[in-house]
Amino acid sequence: MRTRDEAVKSGPLHPVARLPQEWLDALKARGERAFSAKQVFSWIQRHGVMDPTAMTNLPVRLREALAEEGLGPVGEVAHVHRSADGTRKLVVRLKDEATIETVLLPSVSGPGSAASEDADAAVADDEDDEVSTDKREPRVRVTQCISTQVGCAMGCVFCASGVAGWKRHLGPEEIVGQVLIGRTLLDEGEELRNVVFMGMGEPLHNYDATARALRLLTHPEGIGLSTRKVTVSTSGLVPEIERLGKDFEGKIALAISLHAADDASRSALMPINKKYPLAELMAALRGYPLPPRRRITIEYTLVSGKNDDPTEAQRLVKLLRGLPVKINLIPMNPIEVSPLGPPQWGRVLAFQKVLTDAGYTCFIRRRRGDDVSAACGQLVLLGAKPKVKGFRKGDAPDKASEPPPRHS
C-alpha cells in the first residue's frame, strides 16, 4: 500500500503501478469478485497485456471500466538501435512526448564469459545457489538497464544523461513499463534474467517511484524477478541509501558510482559529493544491511588524467578497507559534449592490478553497445542542449588503445 507521503508526491496511481492488494481494494469498491484482482495484475505484469479488451477471462463490464480508467501502454518504442555485439538500445516515447532510453544486454558467451558478465551488467548474485530444474534448451540470459528519470540532476561530468539537467521523474508505471516493453523485443532464445537501475537518472532521487517499481518487478504474481537479480545504482544519496536498506532489508543489490577516493577529486567529477562527502557515504555503506555472502558493487569510471593514476587506486584500497565489495572499473565511454575520455589501456590494467593485489575482486567493464551510444554513460536526453562542465578548456583525453576482446 502507498504511504500518505507517496500518494501526495505522485498523485493518483496509474493502473500499471498498482500492486495486487490495491487492485483488490479498487475492484471490491466496484462490487467485482476478489479473484479478478489477481487476474488483472497477472495480465499486466506477468503477460504484459495493456489492452483491457484482450483480458478474455474478465467480465465485459470490468474490461470496459479498465479502459475508461485509462489502462493502456505507458509509452511506445520510437527507435531500436541494434549494436554489432547484440546490444539493443530502445528509445521509448512517453505519453507527454518525452523520450527515455533503455538497453537490452544479452549475456556474453565463450571463454571468460562467467567473469565478464559481472563486469558487463553488475549482476547481483555473488553466491547464486539456485539449482535449475528447467529441461529446456539453455537460453541466452538478458540484462535490461532501465531509466528512472527524464534527464538527470546529478551533473556527473562523464555521463551524457545529465547534459541538460533534470526534466522530470518517471512514474513507477513508466519505470516498469520499460521492462514490459523490453520483454516483447527479446530475440528468439533470449530470457530476461536481470534488471539494473543504471539508465538515465538517479534512481534514489526518485525514491518512491523506484521503490514501487522494485516491488512490482519482484512480485511473485508478476514478472517475479528475484531480489538478487535486481541492482539499484546510486551516485551516493546517503539518506535514501539508508531508506532502501531498511525498506527492502538489504535484499536489493546496491551499486555505488564512486569514481574517486578523495573528496576534492570526487566533487570535481560528481557535484553530489559536496552534499554527501565520502565519510558520510562510507558510513552509509557500512550500515547497509547486506545478507550473508553478498557484496556492494563499486563502480569506478576511469577518466584520463582525472582519477586513473595508480596512486588513486591505492587511495581506493584504503577507502574501501573492511567493506564487502566488488569493483567494476569502467574506462570512460566517450560522449559528444565532453573532451574527456578513457585512459590508455596499460593504465587501466595498472589500476586494476593495484586493486587485485590488495585482495579485491575487480573487473573491467566490457564495452557493450558503444557503436549505438548504448554503453555506460552514453544514454542521452534527446534534443538536450549540452551543459558541459567539470574540465578546463584544452583538456583532452589520451588516445586509448583498444582493449582485448575478453578480460576479467
Positions marked catalytic: 101, 376
Query: Cell digits for 272?
Result: 553530489
Question: Of 150, 172, 141, which Cα lies nearest the Cα of 101?
Answer: 150
Phi and psi at residue 349, in whole multiples of 5°?
-65, -40
Contact by Cβ (8 Å): 3, 16: no
Query: Cell digits for 349?
Result: 590494467
Q: At what angle do helices 345-357 and 310-320 cross, to 10 degrees?
A: 30
Show Cβ contacts of residue 296 under 8 Å, excluding neighbours closer than 6 positions: 254, 255, 256, 285, 288, 290, 323, 324, 325, 326
Angle in degrees, CA 367, 201, 275, rounded to 5: 110
> Residue 227 CB: number of other CB atoms within 10 A?
17
> Residue 6 CB: number of other CB atoms within 10 A?
16
DSSP structure string for 43-78: IIIIT----GGG-TTS-HHHHHHHHHHT-S-SEEEE
Question: Of 394, 404, 276, which Cα lies nearest the Cα of 349?
Answer: 404
Q: Which H helix or E strand runs over 328?
A: strand 325-331
* 286 CB-side CA count, 13 A: 10
Q: At what angle do helices 207-217 and 238-247 cross, to 10 degrees?
A: 30
What is the rounded CA–CA span in Å between residue 270 and residue 272? Answer: 5
What is the rounded CA–CA span in Å between residue 10 and residue 211? Answer: 13
DSSP reduced 3-state for 27: helix
Radius of gyration of the chain measured on its C-alpha atoms: 21
Contact by Cβ (8 Å): 216, 208: no
